[in-house]
Amino acid sequence: MEKRNFGNIISSGLNDYNIDLLPDQFLVYDNYPNPFNPITTIRYDLPNSRDIKIKIIDIMGRTIKSVENNNMTPGRKSFVWDGTNDFGNTVSTGIYFFQINAGNDSRNIKMLFLK
């Protein structure tokens, strides 16, 4: 009986693949937890590369924390705020706003920080 070679086996068996598809639109999700102490996480989706500007703003409209990321890659992202200002000092208990600008898109989320 003649043996035929039909190619090499690269892999066999069952495999699990975690395929994370790129989002199709810019979305910002509510922070979690809210109210929070000492940290909160804000998740957002970027459908394409963009310059990102994130601000934490107090109830008086003052920017207390600011972060910029130029040419951020697309995907599912998150920002963690630890309740501190740009100088590393813990802010007072109160209402704060998370503002994100991604290219032409902008969103605001209200948060409550408790000590």
> What pLDDT, in 10s, does the model give residues 54-108?
999 999 999 999 999 999 999 999 999 999 999 999 999 999 999 999 999 999 9
Q: What is the pTM of this model?
A: 0.79
Average pLDDT of the residues of the chain: 90
Domain ranges of the chain: 27-113
Q: What single-letter amino acid sits at 78?
A: S
Q: What is the pLDDT of residue 89?
A: 97
> Is residue 7 scored above 80 in pLDDT?
no
pLDDT in the model for residue 62: 97
Of 35, 42, 44, give the one whose Cα is nearest residue 65: 42
Torsion of CA 73, 21, 28, 49, to 10 degrees: 20
Tell me which fold the domain 27-113 belongs to: Immunoglobulin-like (2.60.40)
